[in-house]
Amino acid sequence: MGGIALLARQLGYSVSGSDANVYPPMSTQLSDAGIRIIEGFDSSQFKPEPDLVVVGNAMSRGNSAVEYMLERGLDYTSGPAFLANYLLKNRWVLAVAGTHGKTTTSSMLAWILEYAGLKPGFLIGGVPENFGLSARQGDEPFFVVEADEYDSAFFDKRSKFVHYRPRTLVLNNLEFDHADIFDDLAAIQKQFHHLVRTVPGNGLIITPSADEALSEVLQQGCWTPCEYLADQRAWHVTDKLADGSQFTVMFADKEMGRVDWSLIGEHNIANALAAIAAARHAGVIVEHAVEALCHFKSVKRRMEIRGVVNGITVYDDFAHHPTAISSTLQGLRHKVGKQRMIAILEPRSNTMQMGIHRDTLAASLSEADQLFIYQPDGLGWDLNCITRDVVVPTVLLNNISEIVEAVVKMAQPQDHVLIMSNGGFGGIHDLLINKLKEIK
């Protein structure tokens, strides 16, 4: 929603918005763009009455702003519908969908197109460091969008991505997630099938060759050519370093170039292949795409180094699903070797809070040397079951300050502290870094 607000401002509209909790980096972007942020949902924000209200999917009936909007008969739409109607018409849309890697792959793809001089528009659910902002109108025809399967609004329960009508579609992977709105994996697959139905016959779908859930989606019907990732007959890599920081890109039996970058992990290699394939469909020479990725700076909150204090490195990562957590920790382990890894996890996503991943979460954390888990008040399940199953020393705490104090007491030079949450986590990153600086 913040990105859509930025795009509306770039289109020349006067924009303001409200939320219950806005924090950096998005709050900084909005403020810098001259967008007024209102804390809370008092109806006074609608005076004078706006021409259009763009409603985020977190809003529901009973919310005071929603009720006022409906009672007064204000014109309203959803975020993805606004994007479709005001920006995506007559654009070549390149959409990136999937459970994991959407933000990073979208950022890679936008950067490749930018590096090729195409000046794409984009809407990304993070801040690509190559651009410093999460949304841009860009030049026609190309527009890159992170295509989310979450529902559009309280009045439109279709997945957001059905609004986008991509010509180039990346399907990264598919697992069960968003248990607050989907009953099971089949319900998510149905929405992905609806997305596949919107891709034209002269478009392209890029997808892994060995993702069973996505294969089942395509078997429900596909009218578009497909290119496959991690397939010896199509896109794959060779000669990769263990941490994923270097690899050679192959298309069938032809070597296309070597990526040497700052990112790590098998998941980012997969993201890179998808971005390269999508950019090629838009006309970018593969060798140029590979060169662009060598200059890619990642995305804020994706293994972002927040600080190095007394030889202790503090990372911020968005990982909140067991698969993403496991990939992140494995990548960091390959990078740091036997140096100690201290992981701090906030189980914040709706699915995590519902306890859906309780059977797989412990195993995903096994690469850490020490684990701290935050159990906030009101969590719907007891995290002690994780402490029983996890194979590394684990401390369960319900106070952020106590976590900071415990980590500061334990941390030593050459340690790596990885903080994982899909929210602000109470500002724990700065709290920890400031406490570490106090150590003499």
Q: Could you give the CA distance from residue 50 to residue 46 in angstroms, rounded to a whole number?
A: 6
Are 201 and 125 part of one and the same domain? yes
Q: Would you say residue 12 lies in a domain?
A: yes
CB 199 within 8 A of CB 169: yes
- DSSP alpha helices (H): ranges in 210-367? 212-219, 266-281, 286-293, 322-336, 350-353, 358-364
Name residues whose C-beta falls within 8 Å of residue 128's C-beta, 6 or more positions apart in sequence: 107, 110, 111, 134, 297, 298, 299
CB count in 10 Å sphere of residue 17: 19
Q: Would you say residue 82 lies in a domain?
A: no
Write the burial class of residue 348 (CB in 10 Å: 0-12 exposed, 13-18 middle, 19+ buried).
middle
Are 278 and 137 part of one and the same domain? yes
**Ramachandran assignment for 394, one of left (phi > 0), alpha (psi -120 to 50 degrees), beta (any other):** beta
> Is residue 160 classed as helix, strand or coil in its secondary structure?
helix
Of 142, 143, 123, nearest to 133 (Cα)?
A: 123
Are 117 and 38 part of one and the same domain? no
Q: Would you say residue 22 lies in a domain?
A: yes
CB count in 10 Å sphere of residue 27: 16
Q: Could you give the CA distance from residue 332 to residue 310 in angstroms, rounded to a whole number?
A: 19
**Ramachandran assignment for 252, one of left (phi > 0), alpha (psi -120 to 50 degrees), beta (any other):** left
CB 340 within 8 A of CB 414: yes
Beta strand 341-345 with 312-317 is unpaired
Q: Would you say residue 298 lies in a domain?
A: no
Instruction: Tell me the residue range of the domain where 30 lies.
Output: 2-77
Q: Could you give the CA distance from residue 223 to residue 225 in angstroms, rounded to a whole number?
A: 7
Domain end position, chosen among 59, 77, 95: 77
Domain end position, chosen among 266, 293, 320: 293
Q: Could you give the CA distance from residue 141 to residue 150 in angstroms, rounded to a whole number?
A: 26
Residue with tokens 């005076």: 47
Q: Would you say residue 410 lies in a domain?
A: yes
Q: Would you say residue 368 lies in a domain?
A: yes
CB 238 within 8 A of CB 250: yes
* Residue 327 pLDDT: 84
Are 73 and 142 part of one and the same domain? no
Question: What's the CATH number where 53 sits?
Answer: 3.40.50.720
* Residue 328 pLDDT: 87
Are 318 and 431 part of one and the same domain? yes
Residue 68 phi, psi dihedral angles, 5° rounding: -65, -45
Are 326 and 367 part of one and the same domain? yes
Are 190 and 114 part of one and the same domain? yes
Are 275 and 309 part of one and the same domain? no
Q: Would you say residue 299 lies in a domain?
A: no
Are 227 and 373 part of one and the same domain? no
Are 105 and 56 part of one and the same domain? no
Domain end position, chosen among 77, 99, 124: 77
**Structurally, how many domains does the chain consist of?**
3
Q: Could you give the CA distance from residue 187 to residue 208 in angstroms, rounded to a whole number?
A: 20
- Mean pLDDT, consecutive 10-residue stretches, the chain (440 aa), reads 94 93 80 91 92 96 96 97 96 96 95 98 93 94 96 96 98 87 92 98 96 96 96 93 94 95 91 97 97 91 88 88 86 91 86 70 89 83 78 90 95 94 88 89
* DSSP states along 79-126: HHHHHHHHTSTT-EEEEEESSS-HHHHHHHHHHHHHHTT---EEE-SS
* DSSP states along 13-33: ---EEEES---TTHHHHHHHT
**From the centroid of its chain, how far is CA 156?**
22
Q: Could you give the CA distance from residue 425 to residue 374 in angstroms, rounded to a whole number?
A: 9
**From the centroid of its chain, how far is CA 406?**
29
